Structure 1
Amino acid sequence: MPTAYLHTAFGGPETEAFADLPRPVPGPGQLLIAVRAAGVNPVDYKRRNGYRRAGGPPTDLPSVFGSEAAGVVEEVGAGVEGFAPGDEVLGSTDTGGYAELTLLPAAGTAHKPAGLSWTDAATLPVAAATAYDALVQLALPAGATLLVNGVGGGVGVAAAQIARDAGLTVIGTASAAKAAFAQSLGAVHVASGEGVAERVRAVAPGGVDGVLDLVGGDSLRELAGLLTDRSRLVSGADKALAAELDGSAIVRARTGAVLDAVAALVVKGALDPHVTRTYPLAEADKALRAVEEGHTQGKLVLTVGP
């Protein structure tokens, strides 16, 4: 029976456990994959705490951790076209990525390019794909200035690099400790915290053409004033406030085509997922603690299988 790391109730780390589960069976439109790597994200522990995406289905317990994975197709469900056993793929998971076997929706899965490592592939469906969707939504022309509020997190790291590759000037807010990291992404660093809008205005006297917000709250309210067109504000952190400010939430495409695009950016060297550490599946608890306690920079990945 395949091993997985899951939570049996909503709450803290005491609800987590390893378990041997029945082999998943792919339904219509699904792929069963043998996982080779799985991304570790803040949303993983947030869901254990009881977070549910607006409009999303309730979480059935026990629930396997993980939202993204890369691996080898073992079986295909009814109606699936374009995938076959033995294919190397990446995608968001239907049944959790912290596992030896998991199910992916075929519509949101992409073939892994030969030049893309398993560990990099496993990081793309959540952070990088969200960043890509946000930039498509903003639709800024080359030469425009994008402000990424919270450039030091996973989505911000990807957004800065994708935007730079598209010919945008990127300004990124982050703590002073992340200044060098932000600059390594090609962003002009601006220290976060009270008065952040004034500091952005100092480096962009004419304001900015778009805002990708990954922080929300007071900083989002303050930075919105730098825009002349509030429709060029999207938030992945504060949907209600974004709407109040005449912006919008990030709209996720969740398609294989988006994964194809971000995978191609990694292969050509335009996007570095910044995988800073890997853990074996047997140490999934340690990886999740590292993310939950905020002691990481870049992405953590679980390695599974051979």
Structure 2
Amino acid sequence: MTWEEAGGLTGNGQGAYIAMKAIGVGPGDTVLIHGAAGSLGAFAVQLAKEWGAKTIIGTASESNHDYVRSLGAIPITYGEGLVERVQELAPNGVDAAFDTAGAEAVRASVELVKDRNRICTFVAYDLIEELGLRVIRGERSAARLAELVDLHSKGKLRIHIRQTFPLEQVADAHQLIETRHGRGKIVLTIG
């Protein structure tokens, strides 16, 4: 694992792990992951696949559909009509949803998932109480990180680095993050 990959794994890798465990993703589930091409969403897709989810649907821009497919999810475009498009792909329903995209995505999740305890947002915190969702938080741990590293070493967890920036270009990195339609992790390098 490169230093850039190691830097890109710990935060989003552990965040995805915490979220997917909290909503109980496991064998046979149909899981919806909003923002599946971003670093957090991409880790979530791969963990859902590793943990036996039957169907993984990932929202992403059209330009990222091939990437989302390569991770193991069925790509779907977000935006108007999302609920209906998901229902076509999952006529028996969606068991769990993870939102990394925002208000529209979490509201769609509430329409699609029967058990609100199986919905997690890491973006639309302001809607958690209104929609009756659980606050899901966790602390990073060395044991969890070791498990993620093991998955990576076995070729079961890819770490896609979108772009690296030297520390002195942190403002440029933040501008790129704010475009919100990227693929993978943006990493700052030091030295």
TM-score by length of 1: 0.57
Pick one of 209, 217, 221 that aligns with 2:107. Answer: 221
Q: Which runs of 5+ in 2 are unaligned?
A: none
1:186 aligns with 2:104: no
Instruction: Report deviation, 1:202.
Output: 0.2
Q: Number of residues paired by the alignment?
A: 190
Residues 152-301 of structure 1 mapped to structure 2, 5 A cutoff:
152-168=37-53, 169-293=55-179, 296-301=182-187
CA contact (8 A) 1:119 1:303 kept: yes
Distance in 2, matches of 1:244 and 1:258, equals 31
Given residue 215 of structure 1, which amino acid in structure 2 is its aligned partner?
A: A
CA 1:203/1:256 → structure 2, altered by over 3 Å: closer, same or farther? same
Task: Compute the displacement of 1:296 (Å).
Answer: 4.2
Whether the 8 Å CA contact 1:239–1:248 is kept in 2: the answer is no
Please give the per-residue CA displacement for 1:24-79, whole angstroms capped at 9, x wherever unaligned. xxxxxxxxxxxxxxxxxxxxxxxxxxxxxxxxxxxxxxxxxxxxxxxxxxxxxxxx
Runs of 4+ residues over 6 Å off in structure 1: none
Give the number of the structure whose alpha-carbon radius of gyration is greater.
1
Calculate percent identity across the aligned residue pairs. Answer: 36
**How many angstroms apart in 2 are the aligned matches of 1:208 and 1:131?**
18
Q: Could you say if the C-alpha distance between residues 127 and 177 of structure 1 is closer, same or farther in structure 2, counting changes exceeding 3 Å?
A: same
Q: Is the 8 A contact 2:22 2:136 kept in 1?
A: yes
Displacement of 1:231: 1.1
Cα pair distance change 1:290/1:149, threshold 3 Å:
closer
2:27 is matched with which residue?
142
Q: Distance in 2 between matches of 1:251 and 1:131?
A: 11
Length-normalised TM-score, structure 2: 0.89
1:191: Cα distance to partner? Answer: 1.1
Match status 1:120 vs 2:5: yes
Which structure: greater helix fraction? 2
296 and 225 in structure 1: CA distance in 2 versus 1, 3 angstrom threshold: closer
What do residues 126-177 of structure 1 show as CA deviations (whole Å, max 9, x unaligned)?
2111100001111223111111022122210110011111111211112222
What CA RMSD, in Å, does the superposition of the two structures yield over aligned residues? Answer: 2.0
Task: Give the distance between the partners of 2:184 and 2:158, measured in 1 at CA.
Answer: 10
Give the number of the structure with larger relative contact order, counting CA–CA contacts within 8 Å between residues 6 or more apart.
2
Asked if structure 1 preserves the Cα contact closer than 8 Å seen for 2:61 and 2:181, the reply is no
Give yes or no for contact 1:238–1:249 (8 Å, CA) kept in 2.
Answer: no
Report how far residue 282 of structure 1 moved. Answer: 4.7
Instruction: Give the SS at the match of 1:300.
Output: strand
CA distance in 1 between partners of 2:122 and 2:11 (Å): 12
Gaps of 5+ in 1: 1-115
2:64 maps to amino acid: K
CA change 1:248–1:264 in 2 (3 A) is: same
For 2:107 and 2:88, the matched residues in 1 are separated by 18
Pair 1:138–1:163, CA change in 2 (3 A): same
Residue 55 (structure 1) aligns with:
none
